[in-house]
Amino acid sequence: MFEDSPEAFISRWQRYAANAELFPHREGSPLIECRAGGAILQLFERTGPYLSRPGQQRTIIHPVTSALIKLEPGGATAHLAATGISRLEAVGTVLATEDRIVVVDAGAPLVVGVLEPQTLDLQAGDLVSFESAAPVHGFVVVAPSPFLGHPRRDRHDDHI
């Protein structure tokens, strides 16, 4: 398990949120489509259907993989591509590691959960590749409101 709750996960990893272009949400679908790192991705939305608005939004992209493959320096270039519905493959540089989470820059930051205990000694700057399992999770990061620390709303529900 990589999170206690969506809110805790966002709080812990939002510094690695990608600048993603979100596309209009299809009613009834748990997937959101976005463009990040030059790829069109489908993400399983973890923050509710009304936070993801079309346009630029900071989004934590959280793929899960069985293992990372450490590559030789200069052996490949950063790469991010969809390989199926809510699946991706990536090559990128390690930005940070913590427990079984490895943050990889593959043209966009990816907060990768690794299922198998890593036998690799990964450090920031290492080049890695991986293929994700489905689904790739997406956490839309909502800017806090300047009032009372509540998330900003685009519509006004508090009519008197």
pLDDT digits (tens, 9 = 90+) for 65-79: 999 999 998 878 999
Contact 126, 70 (CB under 8 A): yes
Instruction: Check whether 160 has a pLDDT greater than 80.
Output: no
Residue 117: pLDDT band with limits 50, 70, 90: confident
b/e burial code for range 63-86 (CB count within 10 A of at least 16 → b): bbbeebebeeeeeeebebbbeeeb
Average pLDDT on 2-19 reads 92
User: Taking all residues of the chain, what is their mean pLDDT, rounded to a whole number?
Assistant: 86
- Tens of pLDDT, residues 54-66: 899 999 999 999 9
CA atoms within 13 A on the CB side of 69: 11
pLDDT of 3? 78
